[in-house]
């Protein structure tokens, strides 16, 4: 008996020695990481504006808010909007549901690691055929009723790591879903903040245009009185009316842009656009915007949720190569069943009614038409694809940081120049008004000075909004602050 067991187990042991695991070792793909962000190393003479402002070099950010990066703006209204969006946004709830699905799938895969045990109780009534029972045809046969109860168990011995590879792939998929959730959450927070600042910038721009409209209305009234008195010709009055209508048209166009931004914010908050009204809050000053240190480029690979998701996807693809390869090797399943069968239900549990079976099954494909080999090649190709996706994500991340660092640097310099231009434009408009009132200049010269002032004021407001939006974009590019993001426990908490 022992010799028979030894002969049966020997082939399995030999196969086990050939290869302990079909899953290849995961190798992190090489990615070129710069030693510093180029824009954070820009010489001071290139970034210094007329007011002496310059981009702050990368420094540790321990004093800055972690995780809840929007607190750095010190804006309670923004905080309330982000909290509301995080609780009600539909896309975020979809991402959270996908995390739960992936975690459940990982649990299903992990269940294969333990023996599967079940119980069954049943009854059947049958009338056998006389021929099947070895009796002459036509022999009367009585129906027979039988009852049975059975306990079953089965277990797959993970000889070549198929189960372990499946569990590893499922857990990596779950980690990918969690990272994707963080990416959606970060995108939502950034979109809310950027839409909020765009809305406030439009409010400020509307105020600027409203002052222009008021000035144009006063100009029309003054020119109408002077025309009635015969001091000026109809040309100046017509030009004043033209400028008034043009200013009003610009205000109407800005109102359309504001309505669009308001509707976009409503969708982000999970509200119907028809029922949402955003209060007016002009963006008056950009001095309250936080200065965001860029940090070390290598840390970007740990902070960005999309890069983390690409990393986990590579690990899942690598594990699935092991699943595909293990299908080419023998599989060993141990099964057992025991119970009782009786003519009456009470007889089922008698010792004399007992029955049992113990099985050991080894299976291995011999001819599959190349199916398993093709499946391995497909899995390897999926890994190659995920590696390419990871590298592209890293390159895009560095480019986004550099773009926004450059954007803030340039916008800061522009703002300095516009501040100087604004002082000069206000002085020019004031002098032009006095000269026109004194009859020493034409109305066209006054209009030119007023137009120039209105244009500079609008540009200053637009730059203010662009700096706020670009600051949020930089935070998003850096991964949402200065630490690895956490999953919001409110939506996808572990039970």
Cα–Cα distance for residue pair 196/202, rounded to 1 Å: 10
Residue 85 is given by DSSP the state H
Reading across the β-sheet that carries 354-363, which strands appear in turn? 116-126, 144-157, 331-342, 354-363
Global pTM reads 0.80
Cα–Cα distance for residue pair 484/175, rounded to 1 Å: 14
The secondary structure of 355-418 as a DSSP string is EEEEEEEEE--S--TTHHHHHHHHHHHHHHHHHHHHHHHHHHHHHHHHHHHHHHHHHHHHHHHH
Position 489 scores a pLDDT of 40
Position 493 scores a pLDDT of 40
The secondary structure of 43-61 as a DSSP string is -HHHH--TT---PPPP---
Structure tokens at 240: 């004043």
First to last CA, the chain: 50
Position 79 scores a pLDDT of 93
Cα–Cα distance for residue pair 224/246, rounded to 1 Å: 18
What is the rounded (10 degree) CA torsion for 126, 129, 133, 135?
A: 140
Position 469 scores a pLDDT of 93
* Tens place of pLDDT per residue across the chain (495 aa): 445 444 544 544 444 444 445 677 777 877 777 777 777 665 534 433 333 333 333 333 333 334 788 988 889 999 999 999 999 999 999 999 999 999 999 998 988 888 888 898 888 888 888 777 777 887 887 888 888 888 888 888 888 888 888 888 999 999 999 999 999 999 999 999 999 999 999 999 999 899 888 888 888 888 888 888 887 788 888 888 988 898 899 999 999 999 999 999 999 999 999 888 988 889 887 667 887 766 667 677 777 888 889 999 999 999 998 888 888 888 888 888 888 887 777 777 777 777 888 888 888 888 888 988 998 899 889 999 999 999 999 889 888 888 998 998 899 888 889 889 989 988 988 888 888 888 788 777 888 888 888 888 888 888 999 999 999 999 898 887 644 333 334 334 433
Cα–Cα distance for residue pair 297/400, rounded to 1 Å: 12
Position 104 scores a pLDDT of 93
Other CB atoms within a 10 A radius of the CB of residue 277 amount to 8
| Residue corresponding to tokens 């992190």 | 28
Structure tokens at 191: 């979109």
Other CB atoms within a 10 A radius of the CB of residue 123 amount to 10
Position 457 scores a pLDDT of 87
The secondary structure of 306-333 as a DSSP string is HHHHHHHHHHHHHHHHHHHHHTTS-EEE
């Amino acid at each position: 008996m022992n010799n028979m067991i030894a002969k049966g187990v020997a082939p399995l042991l030999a196969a086990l020695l050939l290869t302990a695991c079909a899953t290849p070792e995961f190798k992190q793909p090489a990615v070129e990481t710069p030693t510093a962000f180029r824009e954070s190393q820009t010489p001071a003479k290139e970034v210094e504006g007329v007011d002496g402002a310059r981009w702050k070099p990368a420094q540790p950010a321990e004093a800055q808010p972690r995780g809840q990066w929007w607190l750095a703006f010190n804006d309670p209204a923004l905080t309330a909007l982000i909290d509301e969006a995080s609780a009600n946004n539909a896309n975020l709830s979809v991402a959270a549901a996908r995390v739960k699905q992936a975690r459940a799938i990982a649990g299903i895969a992990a269940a294969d690691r333990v023996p599967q045990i079940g119980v069954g109780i049943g009854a059947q009534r049958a009338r056998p055929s006389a021929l099947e029972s070895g009796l002459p045809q036509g022999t009367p046969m009585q129906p027979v009723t039988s009852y049975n109860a059975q306990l079953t168990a089965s277990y797959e011995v993970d000889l070549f790591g198929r189960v372990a590879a499946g569990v590893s792939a499922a857990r990596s998929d779950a980690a990918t879903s969690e990272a994707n959730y963080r990416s959606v959450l970060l995108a939502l927070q950034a979109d809310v903040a950027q839409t909020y600042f765009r809305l406030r910038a439009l409010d400020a721009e509307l105020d600027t245009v409203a002052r222009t409209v008021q000035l144009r209305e006063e100009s029309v009234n003054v020119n109408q009185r002077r025309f009635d008195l015969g001091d000026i010709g109809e040309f100046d009055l017509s030009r004043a009316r033209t400028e008034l209508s043009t200013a009003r048209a610009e205000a109407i166009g800005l109102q359309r842009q504001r309505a669009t931004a308001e509707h976009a914010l409503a969708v982000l908050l999970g509200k119907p656009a028809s029922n949402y009204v955003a209060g007016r809050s002009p963006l008056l000053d950009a001095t309250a915007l936080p200065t965001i240190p860029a940090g070390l480029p290598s840390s970007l690979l740990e902070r960005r949720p999309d890069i983390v998701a690409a990393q986990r996807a590579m690990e899942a693809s690598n594990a699935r190569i092991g699943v595909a390869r293990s299908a080419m090797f023998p599989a060993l399943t141990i099964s057992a069943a025991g119970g009782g069968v009786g003519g009456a239900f009470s007889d089922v549990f008698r010792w004399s009614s007992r029955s049992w079976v113990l099985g050991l099954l080894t299976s291995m494909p011999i001819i599959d038409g190349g199916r398993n080999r093709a499946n391995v090649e497909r899995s390897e190709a999926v890994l190659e694809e995920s590696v390419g996706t990871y590298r592209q994500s890293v390159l895009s991340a560095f480019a986004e940081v550099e773009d926004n660092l450059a954007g803030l640097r340039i916008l800061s310099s522009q703002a300095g120049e516009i501040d100087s231009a604004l002082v000069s434009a206000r002085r020019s408009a004031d002098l032009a008004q006095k000269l026109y009132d004194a009859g020493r200049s034409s109305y066209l010269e006054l209009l030119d000075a007023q137009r120039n002032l209105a244009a500079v004021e609008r540009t200053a407001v637009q730059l203010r909004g662009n700096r706020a939006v670009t600051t949020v974009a930089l935070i998003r590019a850096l991964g949402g602050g200065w630490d690895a993001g956490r999953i919001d426990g409110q939506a996808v908490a572990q039970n």
